[in-house]
Chains A and B, each alone.
Chain A
Amino acid sequence: DQQVKQNSPSLSVQEGRISILNCDYTNSMFDYFLWYKKYPAEGPTFLISISSIKDKNEDGRFTVFLNKSAKHLSLHIVPSQPGDSAVYFCAAKKRDDMRFGAGTRLTVKP
Chain B
Amino acid sequence: KAGVTQTPRYLIKTRGQQVTLSCSPISGHRSVSWYQQTPGQGLQFLFEYFSETQRNKGNFPGRFSGRQFSNSRSEMNVSTLELGDSALYLCASSLVGFTNTEAFFGQGTRLTVV
Contacts A103-B42, A103-B43; is A44 near B100 (CB within 8 Å)?
no
Does residue B108 face the partner (Cβ distance < 8 Å to A)?
A: yes
Q: Which of B11-19, B33-41, B65-73, B78-86 contacts A (4 or more CB under 8 A)?
A: B33-41
Contact A98 B45 (CB under 8 A): yes
Binding site for A on B (CB under 8 A): 4, 31, 33, 35, 40-45, 48, 50, 55-56, 59, 90, 92, 97-98, 100, 102-108
Please classify the interface of chain B as helix (H, G, I), strand (E, B), loop, or mixed, using the class held by over half of its residues.
strand
Contact B42 A102 (CB under 8 A): yes
6 pairs of A and B residues whose beta carbons are closest in the complex? A102-B42, A96-B97, A43-B105, A100-B43, A46-B102, A103-B42
Question: CA of A44 to CA of B91 in the docked complex: distance in angstroms?
Answer: 10
Binding site for B on A (CB under 8 A): 1, 6, 9, 32, 34, 36, 41-46, 49, 51, 89, 91, 93, 95-103
